[in-house]
Chain A
Amino acid sequence: MPQADTSNQNATVPEASPHRRRRRRISNASLLVGLALTSVFFIIALVSFFYVPHDPNMPDVRNRLLPFGSPGHLFGTDVLGRDIASQLMVGAQTSLLVGVGGAAIALVLGTIAGLAAASSGKLVDETIMRGADVLLSIPGIVTALVLAATIGSGAGTTILALTAFFTPSFTRVIRSAALTVLEENYITAARLYGRDRIFILARHVVPNIAGVMIVQFTLYFAVGILVESSLSYLGVGVSRPSMSWGLILNEAQQQVGVSSPLAMWPGLAIVLVVLGLNLLGDGLRDVLDPKLNGRRS
């Protein structure tokens, strides 16, 4: 069983300073606000799988460019009369799918590579980490462009690009977190007891770095949403009949002057979700991983 550090159990607990109390209050607030924003986004995305007010791709010439708050079209309609609220709802699906997909696959690969690097000899460690360095020096957008040029664009390609982009960062973070844990006495004890490497990693290391993993996942989920919307905006992400907030913005910009409110909603949606996830990640870090306080990936 992992042991807790009991060395300062008898030490007197210092009075919380006003500064520290304030910090705690801020971190609780960011956790709550982040959780609220993220939940709203998840609920909208989930609901949209079962119900959207209108078909987001269905033109309706009689109802073109309706303003915000029109009956039946709460967020109005675009230049072809397509319902904006429905487009935003279905766009949330793409953000969710691509963001979670890219961050989750990269987390799994990065954890495997990071644990392997941390627990192996110098040669394996160096090889994995220098490989990560090479991948890190290729700008994410360049990877995405090359992939779009070769295998065509779409949600799958975007997830692949995000995976290539995130995995080296995850590898670095997981490796350094695992190295700290591997120095603990309970690891030495488990080793002396005859436990093999895989058992020690799975049973003792992973549970102890789970906090770091959750925080990193949340923060990269947010980056994934930003990148997905950018690629769709550039025309190398998802395209109709699929829907993305970046795509809506791209279409809105071509109609600027005609329908500028259209450019507001998808941008606002991206900002709120990404802000929510970042606040959630920061709040979670303060709760789960006090050692990393204030440091960003």
Chain B
Amino acid sequence: MLLHYVLRRLAFFIGAMFIASVLIFVLIRAAGGNVAAVVLGRDASPEAINALATEYGLDRPWAVQYLDWITGMMGGDLGQSFRTGESVADLVVSRLPISVPLAGAGLVLAILIAIPAGTYAARNAGRSSGTLIALISQIGIAVPVFWAGVLLSLLFGVQLGWLPTGGWTPWNVSVLGAIQSLVLPVLALGLVMAASLSRYVRTAVLDVMNQDYVRTARATGMSQTRALLTVGLPNAALPIVTFLGLLIAELIGGTVIIETVFSLPGLSRMILSNVAAREVIVVQSTVMLIIVFVMFVNLVVDLLYGLLDPRIRVAG
């Protein structure tokens, strides 16, 4: 049964990636017009346009180009930039030392804040202290992540002068400098994500608190805290794990925005500037990489879920 479940999820993962890749390819090619002409600009001669199109294989049928792109991606060849000729894989890898620590630390900070805050709010539901936490997270959800970034950089960067308001010091130049340039972005990202996450934790804990098995555990003489930790937490973990899967999409969106706020030359800055420059191959491959990543996380979450909860793998 477990094997059946795993195979089903794997089949869906592969099918979903196929659909997403076709969608992206067709969308970009259909609306992009003559890619070579757009890249070379208005003054380019027809010969130059044709030469570039031939060089990058843009004059071949779409189906061939698609197959070429997909087989290349599977072998790790993400294509090249038209303008600079750099390989997309190198471009992506060079941006990861900024984007990955930013997103990772932001997520960790959000979890570290949200789990205690959400649990506290649930246990004190109906009292003013619990309501206050719920209210704060309600307001936090309404704060756009870029505004949080702008406010933090105004306060700690401009007013107090403690941290840089933006820009990037590479890790190999100064580790301390790199960390300093990440502190405010991580704070902004983590605080804003903590708001929606803590609301979710609160609901999950409230649900569990009202279950019979927690009451039974309490009846055996366990304290509320102990009952929640030993019986409640494993049960509340399931919905929270699911939500973390959904949160990945939010995390990527937030990272894109925060990198812009603090002028960090990360992955999303690269995508944005390539969108503006109509670098079709770069955008297509990078976007596909992000989607594969998100789908992979969702696959892992699904598998974990099936592993943790037998009912789900039976129902499929």
The minimal Cβ–Cβ distance linking A247 to chain B, given in whole angstroms, is 12
- A137 x B252 contact (CB < 8 A): no
Interface residues on A, range: 35 or more
A147 to B12, CA, bound (A): 25
- Find residues 1-41 in chain B having any chain A CB closer than 8 Å to their own CB: 12, 15-16, 19-20, 24, 27-28, 30-32
Given contacts A146-B27, A151-B31, contact A271 B139 (CB under 8 A): yes
Smallest CB gap from A268: residue in B: B147
- B147 x A249 contact (CB < 8 A): yes
Which of A134, A137, A146 has most B Cβ within 10 Å? A137
- Contact residue among B146, B260, B283, B295 (Cβ-Cβ distance under 8 Å from A146): B283
A230 to B252, CA, bound (A): 13
Task: Confirm or deny: A270 has a beta carbon within 8 angstroms of a beta carbon on chain B.
Answer: yes
Smallest CB gap from A227: residue in B: B253
- B147 x A149 contact (CB < 8 A): no
- B142 x A253 contact (CB < 8 A): no
In the complex, identify which listed stretch (A85-93, A175-183, A203-211, A256-264) lies at the interface while the others stay far away. Answer: A256-264
Task: Confirm or deny: B244 has a beta carbon within 8 angstroms of a beta carbon on chain A.
Answer: no
Task: Confirm or deny: A295 has a beta carbon within 8 angstroms of a beta carbon on chain B.
Answer: yes
Residues of chain A contacted by B298 (CB below 8 angstroms): 137
Residues of chain B contacted by A18 (CB below 8 angstroms): 126
The minimal Cβ–Cβ distance linking A80 to chain B, given in whole angstroms, is 20
Smallest CB gap from A140: residue in B: B253
Residues of chain B contacted by A270 (CB below 8 angstroms): 142-144, 147
- B249 x A140 contact (CB < 8 A): yes
Given contacts A23-B126, A253-B261, A267-B147, contact A274 B142 (CB under 8 A): yes
B-facing mask of A9-24, CB < 8 A → 1, else 0?
A: 0000000001100110
- Find residues 122-136 in chain A having any chain B CB closer than 8 Å to their own CB: 130-131, 133-134, 136
A-facing mask of B133-149, CB < 8 A → 1, else 0?
A: 00000110111111100
Given contacts A256-B154, A260-B154, A275-B139, contact A229 B32 (CB under 8 A): no
- B12 x A133 contact (CB < 8 A): yes
Residues of chain A contacted by B154 (CB below 8 angstroms): 256, 260, 263
Task: Confirm or deny: B287 has a beta carbon within 8 angstroms of a beta carbon on chain A.
Answer: yes
A201 to B24, CA, bound (A): 34
Task: Confirm or deny: B165 has a beta carbon within 8 angstroms of a beta carbon on chain A.
Answer: yes
A127 to B284, CA, bound (A): 26
A226 to B143, CA, bound (A): 8
- Contact residue among B146, B165, B253, B294 (Cβ-Cβ distance under 8 Å from A246): B146
A146 to B249, CA, bound (A): 15
Given contacts A142-B291, A230-B257, A274-B142, contact A296 B203 (CB under 8 A): yes
Residues of chain A contacted by B250 (CB below 8 angstroms): 139
B-facing mask of A261-288, CB < 8 A → 1, else 0?
A: 0010011001111110011000000000
Binding site for B on A (CB under 8 A): 18-19, 22-23, 26, 130-131, 133-134, 136-142, 145-151, 222, 226, 229-230, 233-236, 246, 249, 252-253, 256-257, 260, 263, 266-267, 270-275, 278-279, 294-296
**Could you list 17 A-B pairs, sorted by A, with CB under 8 Å?**
A131-B19, A137-B16, A139-B252, A146-B287, A149-B275, A150-B30, A150-B31, A233-B144, A236-B272, A246-B144, A249-B146, A253-B261, A256-B150, A256-B158, A271-B139, A275-B141, A296-B199
> Which 6 A-B residue pairs are closest in the complex by CB-CB distance?
A150-B31, A267-B147, A274-B142, A141-B253, A275-B142, A149-B275
In addition to A18-B126, A142-B252, 15 A-B residue pairs with Cβ atoms within 8 Å of each other are A130-B16, A137-B249, A139-B248, A140-B253, A142-B287, A145-B275, A146-B24, A230-B146, A233-B260, A234-B256, A256-B150, A256-B154, A266-B147, A294-B206, A296-B200
